[in-house]
Structure formats: structure tokens, C-alpha cells
Amino acid sequence: MRHRCPTCKTPTDSETDADFPFCSERCRDRDLGNWASEKYVVSEPVFDMSELETDSDPAKQEVADEDEDFKGFPKPDDTIH
């Protein structure tokens, strides 16, 4: 697959460039740095907060919070470490 590097616009190819879609490790690292420094941001929220349902019944809420893939695993706390 052919593409242009999102950082420097150099033509890249998925079959030959190990850092695809970037042309080099340098461009890949610059892109990561731009995300880390918040130069890039997601312009729209992934979901609308008004669409989320809030349920006052804790039994129903716990069922909604349980993810099939993670049943039996302890849930992480919200503590910032």
C-alpha cells in the first residue's frame, strides 16, 4: 500500500518501509511527540455525554460496568499513581 508520510509527506510503501505509514523512525517519533504535547487533539468527543444513561439502581449499574472479556479480573481503582 502506498501512502505519504503524515509528518513530512515523503512517499512511503507498506511493503518496504518498516515504519509505515511514516517514512522513518524520526517522523514516527515526531508524530508521537505532537500527540504527547497536545499539538494534535481529537476535535469531537467519541460519544455524547447526554446519551449516557444513569441508573440509580446499583445492581443494574454493576451489570452494565462488567465487561465480558474481563470477568473475574480485579477492576482498577481511579487512583493516580
Q: Which is nearest to 12 in space by CA: 29, 36, 28?
A: 28
pLDDT at 44: 75
27 falls within a domain = yes
pLDDT of residue 43: 77
**pTM, rounded to two decimals:** 0.50
State the burial class of residue 12 (Cβ atoms within 10 Å of its Cβ: 0-12, 13-18, 19+): buried
pLDDT of residue 20: 92
Segments forming the whole domain that contains residue 29: 2-36
Say if 53 falls within a structural domain: no
* Structural domain contains residue 50: no
What pLDDT is recorded for position 71?
A: 72
Q: What is the pLDDT at residue 26? A: 95
Average pLDDT, 10 consecutive residues per value, the chain (81 residues): 92 90 94 92 74 58 58 67 57
Phi, psi (5° rounding) for residue 72?
90, -15
